[in-house]
Amino acid sequence: MITESQREARMHGIGGSDAPIVLGISPHKTAVELWQEKTGQADPPNLDDVEVIQWGNLLEDVVAAEFSRRTGLKLRRVNETLADRRDPFLMAHLDRRVVGEPALVEIKTTRGLDGDTARADHVTQVMHYMNVADLQRAFLVYLVAGQRMVYFEIARDDQAIGELVEAERTFWRHVRDRTPPPARSAFDLRLLFRHDLGGGVIADDSVREAVDQLAAIKTSIKQLEADAEVAEKVVLEAMGEASLLLDDTGKVLATWRQSKPSRTFDRTRLEAEHPEIAAQYMVEKPGSRRFLLKVAP
C-alpha cells in the first residue's frame, strides 16, 4: 500500500503500474489517459474507496506472510519510492524485497487467472521494478478468489527491459513536451478531440473506405441485435416465471432473476414540488461531441 506522498510522487514520473499502460497492454487505462493525468489535464481516479482495492491492501500482509512460510524466503518492506539512476522519472514502490538476494515480491489479489499464468501487464510491472531497483528476479504472488495462492518466478529479461525503457522514455518526452502519444483507438481520439471548431475535411480514399466499412458493420450489428431479440423472446417465453433454464443434464443455460429493490432519488418530484430548491443545485455540464455516420452501406 502506498502513502499519499508516494501517490503524489507518481505524478512526476512513471511507476510500475504505469509501465503496462505505456506499452498499451493494460486492461484498465490507455497511454493517452495516462498522459492527460501526468500533464494535469485529467485527475487520476481515486481508488481509496474501491472495495476490491481496500481488500487487496488489507490482505497484503497476510499473503506476504504465507508466501514467506511456503517458500522459506525472508521478506522485508521497502518504505520508500525508488528512482532509476539514469532516468530519474522511472520510479518504483516495491511491495517486498527478498532478504539476502536481488529479488522482489509483488502481491496481487484477483478474482481469477486465465490459464493459471501470470498476467502480461503484471510481468511488465515487475520488469519495470527490476530495472529501477537493479534486481535479478521477481515473484508474482496471487491470492485468487480469496482462497487460493499461486505464485510465479519471473527472471530478469534485459531485452524486454530495454524495449520497455525505450517506450517509457518516449512516453515521458510526450509528457515533458505536452504532446500526446499516438492514439491507439477511437476512445483515445475522443479524449484528445473533445471539442470541434466547425468546418469540414475532405475524405481521402482510405477514409472513405473506412466510412463504407463502418456503415456496413453498423448495419450488420443492427441485424444481429434484431436476430438476438427474436431468439431471446423464444427463451423468455419458455422460462415464464422460472428463475433457471436448464438442459437435460441439469446444466444451467440461463438465469432470469429479479434484482433486489433499490432506492433512488426522485428528481422529477423535487423539481415539481420544490422548483426553487432544485434550481439551487442545477449545474451546467459541458456538451460532448457526438459522432454520427451519415451514409448507408
Say how far apart CA 251 and CA 257 lie, in whole Å. 17
CB 105 within 8 A of CB 139: yes
Assigned fold of 4-191? Lambda Exonuclease; Chain A (3.90.320)
For residue 296, what pLDDT is reported? 83
Other C-beta atoms closer than 10 Å to the C-beta of 292 total 4
Q: For the segment 249-262, what is each residue's pLDDT rounded down to a tens digit?
A: 999 999 999 999 99
Please, what are the averages of pLDDT over each run of 10 residues along the chain (297 residues)?
60 94 96 97 85 88 96 95 96 96 96 87 98 98 93 97 98 98 97 93 96 96 97 98 96 96 93 94 89 88
**Stretch (H or E) spanning 5:** helix 4-10
Please give the DSSP secondary-structure letter assigned to residue 196: -
Radius of gyration of the chain (CA): 25
For residue 9, what pLDDT is reported? 64
Say how far apart CA 122 and CA 142 lie, in whole Å. 11
Given the C-alpha cell 502506498, which residue does it identify? Answer: 2
For residue 48, what pLDDT is reported? 77
Q: Report residue 282 as a C-alpha cell.
A: 442545477
Indicate the SS3 state at residue 142. Answer: strand
**Stretch (H or E) spanning 104:** strand 103-110
Say how far apart CA 101 and CA 284 lie, in whole Å. 57
CA angle 98, 100, 105 (to 5 degrees): 10
For residue 55, what pLDDT is reported? 86
